[in-house]
Chain A
Amino acid sequence: AQSVTQLGSHVSVSEGALVLLRCNYSSSVPPYLFWYVQYPNQGLQLLLKYTSAATLVKGINGFEAEFKKSETSFHLTKPSAHMSDAAEYFCAVSGPGGYNKLIFGAGTRLAVHP
């Protein structure tokens, strides 16, 4: 069975600092991995996805993530945080078969302070 663990339910950074949100996955097959962002009172928006092409994936709003098979990780990073990055971030996994069902992590709430 596939699963996702997001380390840290809350992360706080200063504006301009590095953002690092951690995600580890468990999958018996090569996974597809995704990061989504949710702003208050809104739906989830796709930030980026890994589908077995390049291991370093660039997404929207300056975010990127690196797939590391040896570490079963897919951490999300951004070099310099903006106030507008404050939101909840979800890592998700799916795999071949399973009809494309996404399994989400518990989410990490990112706070950005001046």
Chain B
Amino acid sequence: DSGVTQTPKHLITATGQRVTLRCSPRSGDLSVYWYQQSLDQGLQFLIQYYNGEERAKGNILERFSAQQFPDLHSELNLSSLELGDSALYFCASSPGQGYGYTFGSGTRLTVV
């Protein structure tokens, strides 16, 4: 157990639908990062939050959004889902610069 909890582990949904992925960071970590991992794109940085505020955005589609709540857990919302959104979505947390990330075990999203 890495200390970063992601739910659900697996999600199967239809095109056009909306889903919410949840992440609880390791205790004490204020930063949360979301990554998408797919066979053709590799690990792509989506977005970062620090203590409730958005800090950096990567290759995140407009159909995707995220937030970090006062208790520091984060949610990634994916809407108008397309087949190409099928991927592993990872959440990671970090206490600060130079420490590296602790990753959760991921949510495998399958859009059918």
Contacts and interface: CB of A to CB of B under 8 A. Distances in A.
B103 A45 contact: yes
A74 interface: no
A105 B58 CA distance: 15
B98 A32 contact: yes
B104 interface: yes
Contacts of B105: 42-43
B24 interface: no
Interface stretch (B14-22, B42-50, B61-69, B71-79): B42-50
B103 A44 contact: yes
Given A99-B55, A101-B56, A107-B42, A43 B100 contact: no
Interface residues of B, number: 27
A43 B48 CA distance: 18
Chain B contact residues, majority secondary structure: strand
Interface in A26-64: 32, 34, 36, 42-46, 49, 51
A61 to B, nearest CB: 16
A34 B42 contact: no
B33 A101 contact: yes
B106 interface: yes
Interface centre among B35, B92, B100 (most CB of A within 10 A): B100
B42 A99 contact: no
Contacts of A90: 43
Given A42-B106, A51-B98, A99-B50, 12 more contacts: A42-B105, A43-B90, A43-B106, A44-B103, A49-B98, A90-B43, A96-B97, A99-B31, A100-B48, A100-B98, A101-B45, A104-B42
Interface of B: 2, 4, 31, 33, 35, 42-43, 45, 48, 50, 55-56, 58, 90, 92, 94, 96-106
Q: 4 closest A-B pairs (Cβ-Cβ)?
A: A43-B103, A104-B43, A51-B98, A99-B55
Interface of A: 32, 34, 36, 42-46, 49, 51, 90, 94, 96, 98-107
